[in-house]
């Protein structure tokens, strides 16, 4: 049956998409694009298998986060605060704030550089400032329902990377072979890029955002108290899983195409000096034409506008829940002052990072590696919380989800340890 012959099915599917779709799309932020571009430019197709093998891990973790929010009616930081010592929460939040703010700064710079690629006369400082202010004002003054719809439709910009892949003449047999058969060069550099890919794919900011957005969705539906939000029906869980799975699948399809495009073009021509996502777009011009480069650059700008609010919002949710402040994008500025000031402070500090001479590639890649090292700390609490009957009732993890959760925790822990040890061996 062709679903597009049945508009009601398509409309119903689109209506089910929400926090999961936005979270998955935000995963392909400009720093993620730069990391995937680096993987393709430096190693060719060697690491493209990660776009396939990380997918079930991503789905499992984000499903846990969404289920925690839906069933408990609380955000992730608040659940950690209620169930674990304060030092554990403070550790998670401090690590999150640092990594997220660094990521926002790197993303703003990549977006401004992409605008300069499309419009060379544009002033970098003016453009990066305009993006920061625009994103901040949208978060503070746009009603949540409109804002959520804006993020949802903006996720469609990810199709630009698929379009780039279709323009480039990929050797599909070779691409698919490497996607199925894992390979890894056991060197310091490869451990570093693997940790970066894991960190930018399974990122702490996505955990906090996903959980809190599920809570916001319930509040918008009229469940304004913890008691009203607690629990979830089978239909709610089913729709959430479709939403989360769809978002993660789209995210990894984009990852797949970015690595493939850069492997088949930049790596094939010995171009490995990629410092930003915008550099990757610029390098495509002489190889596959201006259209592919333009699609790549537009994708950077669009995903930046999508992901920066997620980074900053995750900071706001985490800090507000830590200190029990009023929080939520559905609230007005004055009624959630601490929440919105955290978002504003994150944007201001991140903006300043673009003017203190930080090397862009180090900002992007090291922030991804930082996420890879931070993620296991938060993952431990996610798996434990989602398996706690006191919080989840009969909605605890099933055997498969539990196994994938701990597998993700151990894989990312080993990846982080390998990177750290590589500096001393």
Residue 389: both structure tokens together: 């009957």
pLDDT in the model for residue 154: 67
d(CA 303, CA 310): 11
pLDDT in the model for residue 315: 92
The burial of 181, by beta-carbon neighbours within 10 Å (0-12 exposed, 13-18 middle, 19 or more buried), is given as exposed
pLDDT in the model for residue 230: 74
| Per-residue pLDDT tens digits of the chain, which is 425 residues long | 455 455 666 566 555 666 777 777 777 787 788 788 888 888 999 999 999 999 999 999 999 999 999 999 898 999 999 898 988 889 888 888 888 888 888 888 888 888 887 888 889 899 999 999 988 888 888 766 676 666 667 666 667 777 777 877 788 899 999 999 998 887 777 888 888 888 888 988 889 888 888 888 787 776 667 777 777 788 888 888 888 898 899 889 989 988 998 888 888 878 766 666 666 667 666 665 666 667 777 777 888 887 888 888 889 999 999 998 988 887 888 888 999 999 999 999 999 888 887 665 566 667 777 778 788 889 999 999 999 999 998 899 999 999 999 999 999 999 888 877 776 66
d(CA 25, CA 29): 8
d(CA 332, CA 118): 36
Q: What angle do CA 418, 423, 424 make, to 5 degrees?
A: 100
Cα distances (Å, whole numbers) of residue 417 to 17, 99, 108: 36, 18, 30
pLDDT in the model for residue 5: 56
pLDDT in the model for residue 133: 92
Q: Which residues contact 389 (CB under 8 A, 6 or more apart)?
A: 396
pTM: 0.85
For domain 3-422, give the fold: Amino acid/polyamine transporter I (1.20.1740)
pLDDT in the model for residue 122: 87
In the block, which residue shows the tokens 């939520």? 328
In the block, which residue shows the tokens 């949208």? 138
pLDDT in the model for residue 365: 65
The burial of 211, by beta-carbon neighbours within 10 Å (0-12 exposed, 13-18 middle, 19 or more buried), is given as buried
* CA atoms within a 13 Å half-sphere pointing along the CA-CB vector of 163: 16
pLDDT in the model for residue 423: 67
Q: What is the pLDDT of residues 21-75, one digit of tens each?
A: 777 777 778 778 878 888 888 899 999 999 999 999 999 999 999 999 999 989 8
């Amino acid at each position: 049956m062709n679903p597009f012959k049945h508009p009601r099915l398509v409309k119903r599917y689109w209506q089910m998409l929400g926090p999961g779709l936005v979270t998955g799309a935000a995963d392909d932020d400009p720093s993620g694009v730069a990391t995937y571009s680096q993987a393709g430019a430096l190693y060719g197709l060697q690491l493209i298998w990660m776009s396939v093998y990380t997918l079930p891990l991503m789905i499992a973790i984000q499903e846990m986060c969404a289920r925690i929010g839906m069933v408990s009616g609380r955000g992730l930081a608040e659940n950690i605060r209620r169930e674990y010592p304060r030092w554990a929460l403070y550790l998670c939040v401090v690590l999150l704030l640092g990594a997220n703010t660094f990521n926002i700064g790197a993303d703003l710079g990549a977006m401004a550089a992409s605008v300069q690629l499309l419009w060379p006369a544009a002033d970098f400082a003016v453009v990066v400032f305009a993006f920061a202010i625009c994103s901040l004002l949208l978060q503070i003054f746009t009603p949540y329902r409109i804002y959520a719809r804006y993020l949802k439709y903006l996720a469609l910009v990810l199709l630009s990377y698929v379009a780039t892949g279709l323009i480039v003449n990929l050797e599909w047999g070779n691409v698919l072979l490497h996607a199925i058969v894992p390979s890894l060069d056991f060197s310091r550099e490869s451990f570093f890029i693997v940790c970066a890919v894991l960190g930018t794919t399974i990122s702490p900011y996505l955990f906090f955002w996903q959980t809190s957005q599920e809570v916001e969705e319930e509040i918008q539906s009229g469940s304004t108290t913890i008691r009203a939000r607690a629990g979830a029906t089978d239909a709610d869980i089913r729709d959430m899983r479709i939403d989360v799975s769809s978002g993660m699948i789209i995210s990894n399809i984009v990852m797949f195409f970015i690595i493939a495009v850069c492997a088949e073009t930049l790596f094939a021509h010995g171009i490995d000096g990629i410092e930003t996502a915008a550099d990757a777009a610029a390098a495509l011009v002489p190889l596959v034409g201006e259209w592919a480069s333009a699609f790549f650059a537009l994708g950077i700008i669009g995903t930046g506008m999508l992901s920066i609010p997620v980074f900053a919002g995750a900071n706001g949710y985490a800090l507000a829940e830590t200190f029990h402040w009023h929080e939520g994008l559905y609230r007005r500025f004055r009624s959630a002052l601490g929440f919105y000031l955290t978002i504003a402070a994150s944007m201001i500090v991140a903006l300043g990072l673009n003017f203190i001479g930080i090397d862009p590639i180090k900002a992007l890649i090291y922030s991804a590696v930082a996420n890879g090292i931070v993620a296991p700390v938060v993952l431990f609490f996610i798996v434990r919380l989602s398996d706690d009957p006191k919080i989840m009732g009969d909605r605890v993890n099933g055997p498969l989800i539990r196994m994938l959760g701990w597998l993700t925790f151990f894989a990312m822990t080993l990846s982080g340890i390998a990177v750290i040890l590589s500096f001393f061996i």
